Each structure stands twice: as structure tokens, then as C-alpha cells.
Amino acid sequence: MKKIILLMCFGTLSQTILAQEFGIDLQLRPRVEYRHGYKTLVPDDADAATFVSQRSRLNFNYGSEKLKAYISLQNVRTWGEVSTLAASDANGTAIHEAWASFNLNPEFSFKMGRQEIIYDDSRIFGNVDWAQAGRSHDAFIATFQPNSKNRLDLGLAINEEEETLFKADYDVNNYKAFQYAWYHTSFEHFNLSLLALNTGFTFEEDGEQEVDYNQTLGGFLSFGKNRLKAEASLYFQTGKIADRQLSAYNLSGNLHYSVIPEFTFGLGAELLSGTDMDTTSEKLKSFNPLFGTNHKFNGWMDYFYVSNHINSVGLLDISVPLKYQKEKVTLIMVPHLFSAAANVVDTMGNKQDNYLGTEIDFSFGYKIANNIDFQVGYSHMFATETMEVLKGGDKNNTTNWAWAMFVFKPKLFTHKIND
């Protein structure tokens, strides 16, 4: 690993005579968590989990008039997962990002390689930065940007496990391929984005691996003027999943009003369609946010759509975000009221009330220095019997989650050459 880093440093430095900018920065992010009901209700006689995880990233960036390149090396670990005398790491070092982009002319550019893809509010495409590993894609993106107010991205991904001579099954827990078009425009106080995404997933049928494609179509609209900010989005999904017809939708709206410059009051609602548990139809009506930063939505305890709740009863989430920010201090509190968007039935076939529970999230952030942040948070879930049916466990057990995190982002090296 040391040899790789040294070779990259010397190799790139040797080219800086022709470069405009080269930089190296580091991110270290240790986080301690107390989990007693995170993602699922607490079973009887289950004790809380406490651990420390850490992300370590070493980032190299290069930029010139025509070419940009970026490499992010990453190690994600749990403190204590290897002994103090271990000869090797359990996870080793991975490449989180490794991409290059080329400007064909001022309007056209191409970006290819391992990269984060983030659009709009990160509901469909996001980098999932809360997760220590984060999310990145092996993809090709062509961008047409004729001016500062209009941009069109065309994206493509084709995934295989390895180089092969003939067609082989793809068994990675991942999508098989996608193609998308994302268009963004801005005018006056509004910003509008439109997305058309075609995604393929593998499934087994009669002992053979097949690929079904589903389509996500929709848009995101934002407004900002004076103290008021608003966002709204609408997406539809159609096509197939595992040979089942899909017909689903996602509708959301959020308002934010700055009562005073330091304090913002918000009101939000999101509806993700779901499939009745007692349905007799083969049609799937459950919306899937696909590659979004789902931790950002529907409560920080991650009961919904964070590697769970897919193809389930959907969700109606009503939230009231409150935020206070002044100088180095940030305080956030977000109550959530959760309900199922489709019928929930127990093992006896009895229909349950749609109300799932209330979650209250709280966080405190303090900026120690320009490159050092401290954050701490606490969340509590007040669940119902309906949540028990979905998640198991016991609603009467205390269900909470707490965490504290430092984020260190020092810049190790920056070199610029002015023409």
C-alpha cells in the first residue's frame, strides 16, 4: 500500500510542470454508536450493541483546462476487528473513486471510471455519505452544458464480475446495468430537473439467470426566495422486477421558512407507494429509491429503505424539521410520523392499523476548526403493533440509538501553476 501511494505521488508530481493544480487531502472519520433498536425493534432479552467504526480516505486530485482526474483510496474498519499484532487488515484498502474527465470543448465533457453520482436532493442518485463505505458506481457519463442554466447528462453502466470469454452469470449484490438521462435547468427563483432511468437487475428463472429492466421517470423542482424555500418531486416506476410487473410512484414536498436567520422551521411529507400484504395480484406496487442516500430521508434510525423495506408496504412520512445554526453550532431536531402506504396484515390475516410509529431525531454539531467537525446525535422510536408485524421484536422495549463522530479533513498538499 505504501509503495502504491508513493508511486502515485512521485508519478503525478513529475507531471506538474504541465498541470494547473494537484492536491492531496485526507479524511478520517471515527464514529461510536449505541444501537438498541436501530433498523429494527428490540427482541426480548437482547442487549444493546456498542462499537466504533472508522472511515479513512486518502484523496488525490488533478486538474487542468482539458483533463481532470481523481482517486480516493479508502479503508473502512471496526475498531478491534483485527488483533494488535495482525499482519493484515480484515478489509484492506479499496478504491472508492478513480475517474477521469475530459473536456472535448467548452460545452461537451466525458467522465468515466469509479465515481459518486449525486443529483438533486439525492433521493434517486446519492453518495450515501453517512455509511462509512459510501456509494460509488463504475460508469460513463457524457455531459452537454451549453450555458450556466442548462445541463444534460447521459449515463451508462455495464457490470460484470470479471473478464470472461463467454457470457457468465452476474452474482454481485448489485444492478446489472443502467442507462439514464438527467436534464437540469434554472430560471428566476426555480430549479427544475428531469430524470429518465432504465435499470436492469438479475433474477433466476428455471435455473437460468435473466435480466429484467424497470424504468424510473420523474422530476424534482425547487424554489427559493427570501426566507422561504420549497422542494417537490414526483417519480413513477414501471417495467419488471423478477418477472413481476411494476407500477409504483413517489411523491414528496417540503417547505422551509427562516423565522430568524439562525432558526428554520420546516414541514415535509413523502409518500412511497407499497404493495398490500393481502393482495392477490402479481403486480408489484412498491417504489424503490434505488441509488439514493436513504439515510437522509424517513428517519435517521434507518427503518425504511436502507437495505430493507424494499418491495414492501411503502411509507407515508410526515416530518417537521427544526434547525438552529449560528457560527460554529448546529442543532437539528426532526420528528417523523410514519404510516404504511398499503395494507399490513398479521400472520392470522388480520388487517392492522396503518400507523407505524413516531421517531424523533436530534443532532448537535460543532465546528472545532476549518478541518475538524464534531457531531453527536440521539434518536428514539415510539413503535406500534403494526411496526411489530413488519419488523418483529417488541414495541414495548426501549428503542433508541445514539452516536458521536469526529470528522478530520486536513489538506496535505496543494500545488498550482499559473499560466
Domains and CATH numbers, the chain: 2-416 (2.40.160.100)
Q: Residue 86: its pLDDT value, please?
A: 87
Confidence of residue 17 (pLDDT cuts 50, 70, 90): very low
Quick check: 203 and 212 in contact, CB under 8 A? Answer: yes
The rounded distance, in Å, linking the Cα atoms of 1 and 412 is: 18
Please report the pLDDT score of residue 253 as a whole number: 98
Dist. CA 213–CA 226, nearest whole Å? 43
For 164-178, the pLDDT digits (tens) are: 999 999 999 999 999
User: CA dihedral in degrees (39, 41, 42, 48; nearest 10)?
Assistant: 20
Radius of gyration of the chain (CA): 23
**Residues 135-148: tens digit of each pLDDT:** 999 999 999 999 99
Looking at residue 87, what is its pLDDT? 84
Q: What is the pLDDT of residues 388-408, one digit of tens each?
A: 999 999 999 999 999 999 999
Q: Note the pTM of the prediction, 2 decimals.
A: 0.92
pLDDT of residue 400: 97
Reduced 3-state DSSP string for 115-129: ECCCCCCCCCECCCC
Residue 22 · residue 8 · CB < 8 Å: no
Q: Where are the beta strands (DSSP E) in 87-189?
A: 94-103, 108-115, 137-147, 150-158, 177-187
Average pLDDT, the chain: 94
Find the range with the poorest average confidence among 15-29, 160-174, 207-221, 347-361. 15-29
Q: Give the model's confidence band at 282: pLDDT under 50 very low, under 70 low, under 90 confident, else very high.
A: very high
In this prediction, residue 104 carries a pLDDT of: 95
pLDDT at 130: 97
* pLDDT at residue number 18: 53
Task: Outline where DSSP puts E strands in 132-283.
Answer: 137-147, 150-158, 177-187, 190-205, 208-225, 228-241, 244-260, 263-272
What is the mean pLDDT of the segment spanning 110-117? 98
pLDDT of residue 336 exceeding 60: yes
Query: What value does the mean pLDDT take over residues 228-247?
Result: 96
Binned at pLDDT 50, 70 and 90, residue 183 comes out as very high
Residues 58 and 72 sit within 8 Å (Cβ to Cβ): yes
pLDDT at 16 over 70: no
Per DSSP, 64 falls in state -
Residue, of 309 and 17, whose pLDDT is higher: 309
Statement: residue 311 has pLDDT above 70: yes
Judged against a pLDDT cut of 90, whether residue 3 lies above it is answered with no
Q: What is the mean pLDDT of residues 261-284?
A: 96
Round to whole Å and give the CA distance between 326 and 366.
10
